[in-house]
Amino acid sequence: MASFLPSWSFSFLFTSWMLVALSRTVVAKVVYRPSPWHLAHATFYGDETASDTMGGACGYGNLFVNGYGTDTAALSSTLFNNGYACGTCYQIKCYGASACFRNVQFTTVTATNLCPPNWSQDSNAGGWCNPPRTHFDMSKPAFMKIAQWKAGIVPVMYRRVPCIRAGGLRFSFQGNGYWLLVYVMNVAGGGDIANMWVKGSRSGWIQMSHNWGASYQAFATLGGQALSFRITSYTSKETIIAWNVAPSNWNVGLTYNANVNFH
Ligand SMILES: *[C@@H]1O[C@H](CO)[C@@H](O)[C@H](O)[C@H]1NC(C)=O
């Protein structure tokens, strides 16, 4: 192009293109929106302390320490999507049963666990989480917000909603000197993660692989380097970078907070 046009026009075109690219960046800021409402059923597990909901299949460990509290649910495998649904948020309302609380619109829960199938039970009589059923096995405190717990199971309407989180992404480290396993928590927006990369202060970007639940791993020696993470949202496909989340003296067993999050 430069050989056909005087150099001033090239720089003009380039500047215009830059402005378009910049304005697009602003317009393209991805905000996750609620899904339509769907029918499903909900049960509950554990008691009113919700202690049975700790240490679930997403790997969030203690849900009080990590900010999820008791507003949580285990998803049937159809919804759980092999752990990629960990961290997603749902509004759930009891629908059309006498056990429903009439003055309650809905309650909001985060997916923190898997409700596994039980093929020794009929899918319509106890095997509520058997595929292809979409089912929410809620913490008892969450269930008790929408229905009388003695009902055991109620029909519900649910929809995916953006996750509202205070503060940035949280990265909880496990593994050893050759293997970094990172649990990602407090994810806002879609709440879920499709891909993740790690970068040490003396290395390039290393793609991490999905391990289980909300954890990602890199087989790399990253000790003594400050660590940054690049994360792509499963739902919105947006990618954000959390620079220097962990200092060079990072350690497994610790959780590091970023100052960025999805929307
Ligand atoms: C599956 O259902 C059977 C029959 O009700 C029950 O005995 C068993 O404990 C269940 N398994 C699990 C893992 O819950």
| Whether the bond into 132 is cis, omega within 30 of 0 | yes
User: Which of 134, 110, 108 is CA-nearest to residue 123?
Assistant: 134
Domain 170-257 has CATH 2.60.40.760: yes
CA of 127 to the centre of ligand 1 (A): 9
Distance 117 CA to ligand 1 centre (A): 10
Asked whether 103 lines ligand 1 (CB < 6 A), one says: no
- Rounded distance between C-alpha atoms, residue 51 and residue 84, angstroms: 24
Spatial contact of 191 and 214, defined as CB atoms under 8 Å apart: no
Alpha helix locations (H) across the chain? Answer: 7-27, 77-80, 140-143
From the CA of 111, how far away is ligand 1's center (Å)?
A: 23
Other CB atoms closer than 10 Å to residue 51's CB: what's the count? Answer: 14
Q: Which two tokens stand for residue 244?
A: 């220097």
Full-model pTM: 0.88
C-alpha 43 to ligand 1 mean position (Å): 15
> Residue of the nearest CA to atom 1 in ligand 1?
118
How many Å apart are CA 237 and CA 193, to the nearest integer? 9
- Phi and psi at residue 150, in whole multiples of 5°? -65, -20
The Cα 130–Cα 122 span in angstroms is 8
82 lines ligand 1 (CB under 6 A): no
- The span from the CA of 259 to the CA of 263, in Å, is 13
Cite the residue boundaries of each domain of the chain with CATH code 2.40.40.10. 38-161
* CA-wise closest residue to 153 among 44, 38, 49: 44
Q: Does residue 50 carry a pLDDT above 50?
A: yes
Tell me whether strands 255-257 and 170-176 are parallel, antiparallel or unpaired. Answer: antiparallel
Read off the pLDDT of each residue in 71-77 and give the average, rounded to a whole number.
Answer: 98
To test the pocket of ligand 1, the residue of 121, 122, 124 to mutate (highest count of ligand atoms within 8 Å of its CB) is 121
Closest to 163 (Cα-Cα) out of 252, 40, 246, 68: 68
DSSP structural state of residue 5: S
Radius of gyration of the chain (CA): 22
What residue's CA is closest to ligand 1, atom 11? 118
Task: Summarize pLDDT for 127-139 with one digit per residue, the tens.
Answer: 999 999 999 999 9
Nearest CA, atom 5, ligand 1: 121
Above 70 in pLDDT, residue 9?
no
CB 121 less than 6 A from any atom of ligand 1: yes
| Ligand 1 atom at minimum distance from 126 CA | 5
Residues of the chain with CATH 2.60.40.760: 170-257
The verdict on the CB of residue 118 being under 6 Å from ligand 1 is yes
DSSP letter assigned to residue 34: P
What's the pLDDT tens digit per position in 235-253? Answer: 999 999 999 999 999 999 9
pLDDT at 24 over 90: no
CATH top class, domain 38-161 = mainly beta
CA 122 – ligand 1 centroid, Å: 11
In the predicted structure, residue 93 carries a pLDDT above the cut 70: yes
CA of 76 to the centre of ligand 1 (A): 15
What are the pLDDT digits (tens) for 157-171?
Answer: 999 999 999 999 999
The string of pLDDT tens digits covering residues 192-211 is 999 999 999 999 999 999 99
Q: What's the average model confidence in pLDDT over 78-92?
A: 98
Q: What is the pLDDT of residues 25-43, one digit of tens each?
A: 444 567 888 999 999 999 9
Six-digit token string for 85: 């649904």
* Smallest CA separation from ligand 1 atom 10, residue: 118
Q: How far apart are CA 162 and CA 110, in angstroms?
A: 10
Residue 119 in contact with ligand 1 by CB distance below 6 A: no
Q: Write down the mean pLDDT value for the chain.
A: 91
* 214 exposure class (CB count in 10 Å sphere: 0-12, 13-18, 19+): buried
- How confident is the model at residue 32, as a pLDDT? 84
